[in-house]
Amino acid sequence: MRTQIIVLHRYAYSDSSWIVKALSPDVGVLSLLVKGAKSKNSQFKTGIDPLAHSEIEIRYNHHKGNSSLIIPKEAYLQNYFPKMRSNLQSLAAAQLMAEILLKLGNEKSNFAEEFKWLLNNLECLELNTVKGNSLSLWLHKLCDILGYAPTLSKCGQCGQELLQGPADLWPALGGAVCKGCLGDRKPGYDPAFLQELGNFANGKSDERQVSWLRIENFFLGHLKVHTGALDNLHSWEWLLETRRLVEC
The CA dihedral of 106, 111, 115, 117, to the nearest 10 degrees, is -100
From the CB of residue 45, how many other CB atoms can be counted at a distance below 10 Å? 14
Structural domain boundaries, residue 40: 2-80
Pair 86, 44: CB distance under 8 Å: no
Contact 48, 20 (CB under 8 A): yes
| Whole-number pLDDT of residue 63 | 45
Per-residue pLDDT of the chain (248 residues; tens, 9 = 90+): 899 999 999 999 888 889 999 999 999 999 999 988 888 778 888 899 999 999 999 876 544 444 567 889 888 999 999 999 999 999 999 999 999 999 999 888 899 999 999 999 999 999 987 777 889 999 999 999 999 999 999 999 999 999 888 999 998 889 999 999 999 999 999 999 999 999 898 888 666 667 789 999 999 999 999 999 999 999 999 999 998 887 76
Give bridge partners of residue 30 from the DSSP assignment. 22
C-alpha distances out from residue 40 to 7, 10, 73, 81, Å: 20, 17, 17, 21
**Residue among 95, 149, 90, 148 at smallest CA distance from 124:** 90
Q: Taking the CA atoms of 138, 2, 50 and 127 in sequence, report the sign of the dihedral they define.
A: negative
Which of 26, 48, 80 delimits the end of a domain? Answer: 80
Which CATH number belongs to the domain containing residue 40 in this structure?
2.40.50.140
**89 and 125 together in one domain:** yes
**Number of structural domains in the chain:** 2
Helix (H), strand (E) at residue 84: helix 82-86
What is the predicted pLDDT for the residue at 60?
Answer: 63
* Residue 158 per-residue DSSP state: T
Whether 233 maps to a domain, the answer reads yes
* Predicted pLDDT at 163: 87
Among 80, 113, 129, give the residue marking a domain's end: 80
Phi, psi at 162, each rounded to 5°: -105, 75
Q: What is the pTM of this model?
A: 0.91
Please tell me the predicted confidence (pLDDT) of residue 65: 44
